[in-house]
Amino acid sequence: MPSPRSAGLVAVLMAMISMISMASPGTAQARSATPETASRKPDPVNLTDLRREAEKSSQALADATKALEQRQATLAKADKELKDKLEQLRTATLELSKVRQPLSDLVQSLYQVPSGGDMAPFFTGEDDASNLQALSDMTYLVSGRDEILADAGRLYQEQQKLAAEAQDLRATKLLVEAQLSVEIDTLRKRSSTVVQSLSRALVKLGVRVNQGGRSGAACDPTKVSSAAQYPNGLLPTSVLCPLQQRGRELRADAAIAFVALNEAYRKRFGKPMCVTDSYRNLAQQQAIFYRRPGFAAVPGRSNHGLGLAVDLCGGVDVFRSVQFNWLEANSKKFGWMHPDWAYHSPFEPWHWEYDPKLGSLL
Ligand SMILES: [Zn+2]
């Protein structure tokens, strides 16, 4: 049974948590935009929206997880402070009882009137002065005992108060953890729903997305944030995603943006983009570097190794061709661009790159 005090605290906390949930714009947005509306229109523009939504929901999930960790840390700190206080109190109580018992015994013995009628052991005085001294000593001892009893009472009350606080704190901790884990669970489900919608949209566009299988890339843009921890040319399949062009793959966010760009290109030219190269692992980068020195970046430093670059053919590779000019004018809307260096040193009209800052909210 929680104490009335805990119940009050719990009610206040419940109110606070629901206010926080309502005030959080990320959560409100996440709740209002249903995945159903997102999956209804699997066109290229929506593909970009879906990717951004996936990135946003992944960010909201990361934020909520961080908030839970912070709350847990704060509560753990308060819990430790309380435990320390209780420990101090326990030591003080122990010390007090050590002093109290002998004193109490002594005072008790002073009250005992021996059969002879004299008050032993203090009142053995042969004169009034020593009797008076004995009386004064006894008064002192009695008042000392009373003080100690009062101290013990105060310590006991403090102990009761702290024990109640500790109980409240534990209840609060459980409540906050439960509330936040529900929130996180909702966000996690929502994130995976968006990724699923995205996968379905990509499959409809001919991308051979691996949906939950062991081999092949899965096209999950929410995994991209972990890509930075892998060296150039050593990206795991979990952050890669195949293109519509057979055998080609890129980092998931770049790939999804490329599919959208490819659809726009197809609308304009009646056929998909021609891709000669995309993600290159370290071994492939080395092979190209030694085969065509000067034409490929030093292995481990190419944007191909980050899954963020393509080499194109089919006209785009010819500087100032219709295809090149169209791509130059339109690719930025999809996060893709022809880097400055590729205009002259070395001159590589076929080389195009994805810039996450152009194409992503993250
Ligand atoms: Zn290239």
pTM (two decimals)? 0.64
Give mean pLDDT, residues 46-51: 82
The tokens for 254 are 């770049």
Q: How many A from CA of 297 to the centre of ligand 1? A: 8
Return the residue matching tokens 């659809």. 263
Q: How many A from CA of 211 to the centre of ligand 1? A: 29
Tell me if residue 275 falls in helix, strand or coil. Answer: strand
Give the span between the Cα atoms of 228 and 230, in whole angstroms. Answer: 6
Cβ atoms of residues 253 and 220 within 8 Å: no
Cβ atoms of residues 247 and 310 within 8 Å: no
- Between 8-22, 68-82, 287-301, 337-351, the lowest mean confidence (pLDDT) is in 8-22
Q: How many A from CA of 353 to the centre of ligand 1? A: 8
pLDDT value of position 45: 55
Which range scores top for mean pLDDT: 151-160, 207-216, 315-324? 315-324
Phi, psi of 278, rounded to the nearest 5 degrees: -140, -120
Give me the sign of the Cα torsion angle 31, 32, 36, 39: negative
Q: How many A from CA of 231 to the centre of ligand 1? A: 18
Q: How many A from CA of 352 to the centre of ligand 1? A: 7
Q: How many A from CA of 122 to the centre of ligand 1? A: 105
- List, in order of start, the domains of the chain with CATH numbers: 39-204 (1.10.287.1490), 221-359 (3.30.1380.10)
Cβ atoms of residues 308 and 339 within 8 Å: no
Q: How many A from CA of 283 to the centre of ligand 1? A: 15
Cβ atoms of residues 41 and 164 within 8 Å: no
Q: How many A from CA of 328 to the centre of ligand 1? A: 16
Radius of gyration of the chain (CA): 38
Catalogue the E-assigned strands of the chain: 240-242, 249-251, 274-277, 309-313, 336-337, 351-354
Q: What is the pLDDT of residues 126-136, one digit of tens each?
A: 677 777 887 78
pLDDT value of position 317: 96
The pairing of beta strand 249-251 with beta strand 240-242: antiparallel
Give the span between the Cα atoms of 124 and 100, in whole angstroms. Answer: 26
Give the span between the Cα atoms of 250 and 242, in whole angstroms. Answer: 6
- Nearest to 50, CA basis, from 36, 65, 63, 32: 36
Q: How many A from CA of 340 to the centre of ligand 1? A: 13
Return the residue matching tokens 């076929």. 350
Q: How many A from CA of 249 to the centre of ligand 1? A: 14
The tokens for 301 are 């430093």
b/e sequence 75-93, b meaning 16+ C-beta within 10 Å: beeeeeebeebbeebeebb
Q: How many A from CA of 121 to the centre of ligand 1? A: 106
Q: How does residue 22 score in pLDDT terms, banded at 50, 70 and 90?
A: very low
Tell me if residue 182 falls in helix, strand or coil. Answer: helix
Q: How many A from CA of 259 to the centre of ligand 1? A: 18
- Between 145-149, 213-217, 264-268, 291-295, the lowest mean confidence (pLDDT) is in 213-217
Tell me what the pLDDT averaged over the chain comes to. Answer: 79
Q: How many A from CA of 354 to the centre of ligand 1? A: 12
Q: How many A from CA of 310 to the centre of ligand 1? A: 6
The tokens for 216 are 């092949």
Give the span between the Cα atoms of 214 and 198, in whole angstroms. Answer: 19
Q: How many A from CA of 126 to the centre of ligand 1? A: 115
